[in-house]
Structure 1
Amino acid sequence: MNTMAIIIFGFFAFVLQYILTFLQMNKFTKHYREFRREGRVAIGRYSGVVRAGVIVLFLIDGKGVIKKGKYVQGVTVFAGYKDINKSFTGKYVGGLTQEDCKAAHYSKSLTQAVMDARNNYNIITSGGTLPERKSPFGRLLDMFKFRSVKKDN
């Protein structure tokens, strides 16, 4: 009987995760579409392992100047989108610096997401393609490969 209870619990946990992920993606899509209707969008993200993850959306004009921005920061799918400080409005997204984020008193993870948006914008406008990021499982495997190679030497 315990095995059946574990299987049922696992099934409901999977369904709950699917529903919550679906809701989170709908929130992102809503805000992305809102920005896309008004112009181009620069997106940056920071995947936190210990810290909360962050996604940044900048609405930019044809010259790369920020009109407005939003970000979501949190550990759970219940985190809500917030407007970015007006200090970025009117700045060139490709020229943002960490000092700009420090002046706005942003956290390290939010600063990393803003820098990622800047880097993504610069790569795309120069005609490049964004490198594909490894999944958390892929990064974990790389850590073990590096440690095993290090021990062999």
Structure 2
Amino acid sequence: MSVIWLGIFLAGAFFIQAILGFMQLKRFINMFRKMNRQGKVLIGKNPKRLQAGSIILLNIDESANINRAELLKGVTSFARFQSIDSLKGQSLPELVSSYKDLKQFNPLIRGCLLNAYRNFVNFRTGNLPENESQVNINFFALPVFISVKNAVMRWIGTIGSYIGRFGEANNK
């Protein structure tokens, strides 16, 4: 009986994680759309496994000057976007090519800026990989939904094996 409660607890934890992940994704999409109305948006990411990862959204003009910068940094799903006013008005190519200018930011932001610049160069030269330029994403193919689906299927399989054993015991 305790195995069933453990399964219910794990399924509930996965469900809560899925809801929190969905809410964070919704915040990201809303910020991206809001910035996209103001012009082109570059995305730079610096994912980490055991520490805070970060994503930066840069609103740029045709000359790659930064009009607005928003940073999403944190370990949990409760992270919010923070505006980085010190980037406003700076040229992205000049910023990433100057170690002195880049050094004023913490390593997470530096990684995001360098990734955003790499994406900018790849986009301008036509070398952006196909999987990074796709806009249409199957929402239910995201890892959080796949892990929830797999957990539910394992749980159903466990319950099915218990029911099968119970039926065999009654037939004897």
What TM-score do the two structures reach when normalised by structure 1? 0.78
Cα RMSD, aligned residues only: 1.7
Q: Partner letter of residue 8 of structure 2?
A: I
State the match for 2:122 in structure 1. Answer: 123
C-alpha deviations, 1:111-132, integer Å up to 9, x for none?
1111111111111111111476
State the match for 2:65 in structure 1. Answer: 65
Do the aligned partners of 1:124 and 1:130 also contact (CA within 8 Å) in 2? no
Structure 2 unaligned spans of 5+: 133-172
C-alpha deviations, 1:78-130, integer Å up to 9, x for none?
011101132x2222223332432323xx2212211111111111111111114
More RCO (CA 8 Å, sep 6+): 2
Do the aligned partners of 1:32 and 1:57 also contact (CA within 8 Å) in 2? yes
Would you say 1:95 and 2:63 are equivalent positions? no
C-alpha distance in 1, partners of 2:108/2:115? 11
Do the aligned partners of 1:65 and 1:93 also contact (CA within 8 Å) in 2? yes
Secondary structure of 2:44's aligned partner: strand
State the match for 1:10 in structure 2. Answer: 10
State the match for 2:23 in structure 1. Answer: 23
* Deviation of 1:46 (Å): 0.5
Between the two proteins, the alignment pairs up a number of residues equal to 130
State the match for 2:83 in structure 1. Answer: 83
State the match for 2:156 in structure 1. Answer: none
C-alpha distance in 1, partners of 2:131/2:50? 22
Do the aligned partners of 1:47 and 1:54 also contact (CA within 8 Å) in 2? yes
C-alpha distance in 1, partners of 2:70/2:113? 11
Do the aligned partners of 1:42 and 1:57 also contact (CA within 8 Å) in 2? yes
Provide the identity percentage. 28
Once the two structures are superposed, the pairs formed by residues 31-46 of structure 1 within 5 Å of their partners are 31-46=31-46
C-alpha distance in 1, partners of 2:102/2:33? 25
C-alpha distance in 2, partners of 1:130/1:59? 21
Q: Partner letter of residue 17 of structure 2?
A: Q
Do the aligned partners of 1:42 and 1:120 also contact (CA within 8 Å) in 2? yes
What TM-score do the two structures reach when normalised by structure 2? 0.70
Q: Partner letter of residue 74 of structure 1?
A: G
Would you say 1:49 and 2:49 are equivalent positions? yes
Structure 1 unaligned spans of 5+: 134-153
CA separation of 1:52 and 1:131: change in aligned 2, threshold 3 A: farther
Q: Which moved more, 1:35-44 or 1:60-69?
A: 60-69
Quick check: which one's helix share is greater? 2
Do the aligned partners of 1:39 and 1:61 also contact (CA within 8 Å) in 2? yes
